[in-house]
Chain A
Amino acid sequence: MGSRAPHRGGMDAAISLTGVSKHYGNGKPALDGVSLTVAAREFLAVVGGSGSGKTTLLRLINRLSDPSTGEVRVRGADVRTLDPIVLRRGVGYVFQGIGLFPHLTVAENIAITPRLLGWDSGRQRTRAAELLGLVRLDTTYATRFPHELSGGERQRVGVARALAAHPDIVLMDEPFGALDPLTRDALGQDYRRMHEDLGLTSVMITHDVLEALLFADRIVVLQQGHLIADGPPSALIAHQHPYVRELMATPRRHAERLGAFLGSTGH
């Protein structure tokens, strides 16, 4: 029942939170005493309903906000000692609701962090073209504007933008939330491949436990600011917390039903 998390810690830890709480105004805390470590090259999914504190948790990592109490470390360093601008430029971030700049082309959106880092325009263009390939978009997309793209294409551009400046850490806030199931699956698989190939540490926020089960190495569950479960997908299926059981009920029922169909066709 407690919020005890297994600390994998050590020199490996890309991100660690220790006893982190966040209060907004006088209400209940958005996060309450959360401790969590993300190992380098790990793919962590953070699952929770709205108001569970999952977006707050992500924002603390690149200092879009600061914790009320507790400590956040990135690559071993206390984030309070880091320049937030430098920190953010070194951490990829895929925003909820995409967050592309509507007045910039696809290529300019992708190359925004390199531009901030002072890369010359030739190098920016080359990098944008590279990333379009990586997220499986045609190079003709480079000169289009965000409003000319479909939802899935926009999200691919969002991922490409997060990766542009070669970050080793990528934070994603419901990256595939608004997409149809087929697109979501294709994009999720593509991202998982990039995660492997580029050796990234990824933290993905989602309200959809199926997405977490399919793509992540490890899942943590947040409920009203408390961390109530932490483990690999297989462990979560068997978890006893009533909320976690409730979360797992739907995928479990889908799997059973599909299993029944597959069995009856003789495979």
Chain B
Amino acid sequence: METRFQTALAYLPDYFGNHVLVSMTALGLGLTISLPLAFVCLRHPALRATLLTASSVVQTVPGLALLALFYPLLLGAASLSANWFGVSFSALGFLPAVLALALYSMLPVLRNTITGLSTIDSAVTEAAQGVGMTRLQSLRIVEIPLAMPVIMAGIRTAAVWVIGTATLSTPIGQTSLGNYIFSGLQTQNWIFVLFGCVAAAVLALATDQLLALIEAGVAVRKRGRIAAGIAGLAAIIALALVPALAGAHAHYLVGAKPFSEQYILAALIKQRLDANGLATGQRDGLGSAVILDALAANEIDVYVDYTGTIWANQMHRTDVAPRAEVLAQVGEWLKRERNVTLLGGLGFENAYALAMTKKRGEALGIRTLADLAAQAPRLSIAGDYEFFQRPEWAALRTAYGLAFRTQRQMQAEFMYPAIAAGEVDVISAYTSDGRIAQYDLVVLDDPKHAIPPYDAVLLIAPKRANDAAFIDALRPLIDAINVATMRDANARASAEGASPDQVARWLWEKISKR
């Protein structure tokens, strides 16, 4: 347990720094937009109603969805900008996170500023006018100072929301304290999850209290308190900048999708590069849809993808070809369309499959998907969030005519206990998953070859295509891992609770001996 805590602590400067930078920038941007807008609204009641409604609607969009929506939006904007002005920018990471979080911060700031300013005693504003203040002087000398407690309360609410929601910027490629939570959830490392939650909560509370200190200082006009509050906030930001300023050395960024196997392989790649004297960093938890774009845009340098994923999601192929054929075609397509190099396969497949417990399969006499199809109307299936939207599922249904009694979506971590407990009969599974052995499951045969092969492959960013030192460091991983070894490694991470780094070291031990 202590080692897990120490591992978590080691990531803190990077995660914390990025979290502070993204949330403070978003808050700053949000305030820069919301505060003037609130003043304009005072004079235009129609605009006020529209804006408050709009920002309330934004608030009802789940944080994760809002962040995710900004990615395609910015991707479109980036390609337009590239076409028109020849200037491209990254649609991943910092920018979409900042924009979405800034939008998120607007409601409390707008609402409180408008409320604070419009509920000031009219006798006071009348007096301000009567002593000869201009509209601006009245705002500056009288109305803003009087509304300050309410305005500050709005800013504090926004700060807490933004800092909390910033944990969700991990899947769109922005490192944050959410990296602990997402990777912890995937690897069942509850220490990580807890660490991330506590760190985000501490940051939110500290920021809230410092803002409260400034607010109190303004109210009683104590310069000392205002200065102390500002100094505290500045200290947090400075602390966040330390790793960014000191750590301009992470030349090679290794990407990983948000699941356990990816974390292990990313750690393995990172260890190989480090061992060859190359400075590395990690971009964890990138969504499956954005990670290839990030690589093609040179935002990460290397990651592991699966041929079937690219075949179906990127090349939009619905046919199925033999394993070697798919590998070759995917490699060609990546080079031609995305200028990405497929360095080679790691040696194992992580294909989609349907699995049952050995006991239930035997009881029902089901060994293949064709057997399953005959009994499916009486059975229930559970899949992860992605599975039922994937072309593989459509292909399976068409090929075998699969139709289940019930169909449920759940987090992959909970599917296995569910099938073990008999709550569902069939689950979507991955062939390299360690839990197949652990839960005594069988993978059902696919006699019609409806599901394409899913070879794990190393993909290299365009700018690294001719980087010999980099490629030489990665070459020993090609064809080095068989599916049994990978299942074993995955089982170590999920069942025994070893960290991805530890499992990666074990894996290297094992494959380098051969």
In Å, the complex CA distance between A161 and B124 comes to 14
Cβ < 8 Å to A, chain B residues 92-142? 123-124, 126-134, 137, 141-142
B145 — nearest CB in chain A belongs to which residue? A103
B64 within 8 A of A: no
> Known: A97-B123, A99-B123, A103-B146. Contact between A88 and B134, CB under 8 A?
no
Cβ < 8 Å to B, chain A residues 88-144? 88-89, 93, 95-103, 112-113, 116
A178 within 8 A of B: no
Q: In the complex the two chains form, is B134's CB within 8 Å of A95's CB?
A: no
Q: Which of A86, A113, A116 has the most CB of B within 10 A?
A: A116
Q: In the complex the two chains form, is A64's CB within 8 Å of B131's CB?
A: no
Q: In the complex the two chains form, is A99's CB within 8 Å of B145's CB?
A: no
Q: In the complex the two chains form, is A64's CB within 8 Å of B126's CB?
A: yes
Cβ < 8 Å to B, chain A residues 54-107? 62, 64, 85-89, 93, 95-103
In Å, the complex CA distance between A89 and B134 comes to 11
Query: Contact check: which of A86, A89, A100 meets B127 at CB < 8 Å?
Result: A100
Question: How distant is B131 from chain A, measured CB to nearest CB, in Å?
Answer: 5
A89 — nearest CB in chain B belongs to which residue? B132
A96 — nearest CB in chain B belongs to which residue? B123
Q: In the complex the two chains form, is A95's CB within 8 Å of B132's CB?
A: no
In Å, the complex CA distance between A97 and B126 comes to 11
Q: In the complex the two chains form, is B130's CB within 8 Å of A64's CB?
A: yes
A115 — nearest CB in chain B belongs to which residue? B141
B130 — nearest CB in chain A belongs to which residue? A93
Interface size class of A (residues with CB under 8 A): 20 to 34
Q: In the complex the two chains form, is A101's CB within 8 Å of B123's CB?
A: no
A116 — nearest CB in chain B belongs to which residue? B132
Question: How distant is B126 from chain A, measured CB to nearest CB, in Å?
Answer: 7
Q: In the complex the two chains form, is B134's CB within 8 Å of A85's CB?
A: yes
Could you say which residues of chain B place their CB within 8 Å of the CB of A96? 123
Question: How distant is A156 from chain B, measured CB to nearest CB, in Å?
Answer: 16
Question: How distant is A159 from chain B, measured CB to nearest CB, in Å?
Answer: 13
In Å, the complex CA distance between A99 and B126 comes to 8
* Mask: chain A, 175-207; 1 = CB below 8 Å from B; 0 = not: 000000000000000000000000000000000
Q: In the complex the two chains form, is B126's CB within 8 Å of A95's CB?
A: yes
Query: Contact check: which of A88, A98, A113 meets B129 at CB < 8 Å?
Result: A88
Could you say which residues of chain B place their CB within 8 Å of the CB of A161? 131
In Å, the complex CA distance between A101 and B137 comes to 13
Could you say which residues of chain A place their CB within 8 Å of the CB of B131? 88-89, 93, 112-113, 116, 161
Could you say which residues of chain A place their CB within 8 Å of the CB of B126? 64, 95, 99
Could you say which residues of chain B place their CB within 8 Å of the CB of A86? 132
In Å, the complex CA distance between A86 and B134 comes to 10
In Å, the complex CA distance between A62 and B127 comes to 12
Could you say which residues of chain A place their CB within 8 Å of the CB of B127? 93, 95, 99-101
Question: How distant is B225 from chain A, measured CB to nearest CB, in Å?
Answer: 16
Could you say which residues of chain B place their CB within 8 Å of the CB of A88? 129-132
In Å, the complex CA distance between A237 and B53 comes to 61
Could you say which residues of chain A place their CB within 8 Å of the CB of B123? 95-99
Q: Which of A98, A100, A102, A103 has the most CB of B within 10 A?
A: A103
In Å, the complex CA distance between A99 and B145 comes to 16
In Å, the complex CA distance between A87 and B131 comes to 10
Question: How distant is B216 from chain A, measured CB to nearest CB, in Å?
Answer: 14
Question: How distant is A164 from chain B, measured CB to nearest CB, in Å?
Answer: 9
Q: In the complex the two chains form, is B132's CB within 8 Å of A85's CB?
A: yes
Could you say which residues of chain B place their CB within 8 Å of the CB of A99? 123-124, 126-127, 130
Question: How distant is A160 from chain B, measured CB to nearest CB, in Å?
Answer: 12
* Mask: chain A, 149-187; 1 = CB below 8 Å from B; 0 = not: 000000000000100000000000000000000000000
Could you say which residues of chain B place their CB within 8 Å of the CB of A101? 124, 127-128, 141-142, 146
Question: How distant is A60 from chain B, measured CB to nearest CB, in Å?
Answer: 13
Question: How distant is B222 from chain A, measured CB to nearest CB, in Å?
Answer: 14
Query: Contact check: which of B124, B132, B142, B146 meets A113 at CB < 8 Å?
Result: B132
Could you say which residues of chain B place their CB within 8 Å of the CB of A98? 123
In Å, the complex CA distance between A161 and B131 comes to 9
Question: How distant is B116 from chain A, measured CB to nearest CB, in Å?
Answer: 13
Q: In the complex the two chains form, is B145's CB within 8 Å of A95's CB?
A: no
Could you say which residues of chain A place their CB within 8 Å of the CB of B130? 62, 64, 88, 93, 95, 99
Could you say which residues of chain B place their CB within 8 Å of the CB of A103? 142, 145-146
> Known: A85-B132, A161-B131. Contact between A116 and B124, CB under 8 A?
no
Cβ < 8 Å to A, chain B residues 132-169? 132-134, 137, 141-142, 145-146
Q: In the complex the two chains form, is A64's CB within 8 Å of B129's CB?
A: yes
Question: How distant is B58 from chain A, measured CB to nearest CB, in Å?
Answer: 33
Question: How distant is B269 from chain A, measured CB to nearest CB, in Å?
Answer: 60
Can you sample 6 A-B contacts with CB below 8 Å? A64-B126, A64-B129, A86-B132, A99-B130, A103-B145, A116-B132
Closest CB pairs A-B (n = 3): A99-B127, A89-B132, A88-B132
